Amino acid sequence: MDVKMVRHPSGLNLPILLDDDGLPVPLANEWVLQRRGLSPNTLTRNLRELAILFTWLDSLNIDFGACMAGDRMFTEAELAGSLCEHLRMAVKVPALQAGGISTNQGKKVAVSPLTYKLRLITVRQFMGWCFRFKMGTMASGDPALLRIQAHKEHVNKVLSDQEISNPPQNKSITKGLRDHQVTALIWCVDFRNPEAYGLNEHVRFRNFIVVMIMLTFGLRPAEVLTLRVGDVEFGGVTALRVLRRVSDPNDVRSPRPRVKRNGRDMIMKTPTLIRLIEEYIEVHRESVMERFAKDHNYLIISDEGDPLHGNSVSNYFQIIREKFKQVLPSNLTPKALRHTYSSRTEREMAERGVPEDERKQVLAYLRGDSSVRSQEVYIIGEIIRQATSVQSKYHDKLMETFLEYSSDESKI
């Protein structure tokens, strides 16, 4: 089983599942087609999860089509005792002999509870769709219809019972950067810093602009990489527009960045940042485009004038983490800048006395999210930060009492 990415003439990238003979798996690929509104990365993950299902079917010589037609029923032992165990295991890791030579016998490694849960959900949704697809081709009076419906409910019940809750995890309270870390980051990527990373002044200026856009507006890396020059509207009110667009057939990046959430207009009121973005477009970007004779309107470009790849952004953060490991945190990622923006915006609104429900709506708009519930993590984070501050003051007061008591004892 293998998953390949197919680029359609319309510019849409869709993954396809191939069997061991290199032929497409019809049902799995048709299921992906009717879900093509999702991210290509999500669809690729779904097909890799379904590859486990079809590998399991082949290992037991189970005719999947016969099961969907009601000619053969899945037993609870097959689903709960065999299939779910396959979903819990990762790909076999080859065992090594002396000298680093791998053997055919491998060690099975269990996946995380979250990975197992995602696999199980995908398999259950796919099998439910297959049952509905089969029943949709049958006449309403067909006696096999009731048998297939009962089989569908049986499979769904068994697989639903195998779902598990995610175990509690020790996660950091603060997802974003602290204030002193933000200050250090800005200096580390500043194009005026002689130690800033970049082949030339154009690359260093571009890197600075990318970091500042993500830090100032909370954009995802993919949203930054999909920006066009025209999305920065200069004028009396300068704005940065994040738009959801149709797939660009001329964009050859793989995976192709895309705006997965809601678009929005971000007003820019900082004259310094506006001037720097304008300088990047008119001087640094234009110089690279002319040097390599490129012609496109993507805002962020590579060293050779092509649209910048997402891997380049990830690699850049790895480089600066290593280069400035004395001042930058080890968990610095592009996503951390988005969390920093969200946490700081929530703190500012809380200090101004904005009601909690309104703060959630504002955060959802600024972040491009559809759900206000996803903003609760920042509300809780600010509450924990305030609680930590109060606790720290209490501890200081408590220790002052202890020191005063110790001083009085020494005088006796």
- How confident is the model over 275-305, as pLDDT tens digits? 999 999 999 999 999 999 998 999 999 999 9
Q: What is the pLDDT of residue 408?
A: 62
Q: Which fold has domain 179-341?
A: hpI Integrase; Chain A (1.10.443)
Query: What DSSP state is assigned to residue 38?
Result: S
Mean pLDDT of the chain: 85
Question: Mean of the pLDDT values across residues 147-164?
Answer: 89
Is pLDDT of 412 > 90? no
Question: Mean of the pLDDT values across residues 73-96?
Answer: 79
pTM of the entire predicted model: 0.70
Is pLDDT of 89 > 80? yes
The larger pLDDT score, comparing residue 267 to residue 375, is at: 267
* Pair of tokens at residue 4: 């390949």
Residues of the chain with CATH 1.10.443.10: 179-341
Q: Are 128 and 156 in contact (CB under 8 A)?
A: yes
Strand partners, 166: none
Q: What is the pLDDT of residue 411?
A: 59
Q: How far apart are CA 351 and CA 136, in angstroms?
A: 57
Is the N-terminal amide bond of 26 cis, ω within 30° of 0?
Answer: no
What lies within 8 Å, CB to CB, of 294 at 6+ separation is: 288, 301, 304, 305, 306
Q: What is the pLDDT of residue 103?
A: 46
pLDDT per residue as tens digits for the range 195-245: 999 889 999 999 999 999 999 999 999 999 999 999 999 888 899 999 988
Nearest CA among 344, 398, 397 for reference residue 367: 344
Is pLDDT of 385 > 80? no
Residue type, 201: E
Q: What number of other Cβ atoms are within 10 A of residue 171's Cβ?
A: 8
Q: How far apart are CA 329 and CA 247, in angstroms?
A: 36
Is pLDDT of 98 > 50? no
Q: What is the pLDDT of residue 108?
A: 60
Q: How far apart are CA 44 and CA 177, in angstroms?
A: 32
Q: Can you say whether residue 235 is alpha, beta or left, with left for phi > 0 and alpha for psi between -120 and 50 degrees? A: left
* Pair of tokens at residue 143: 């006696």
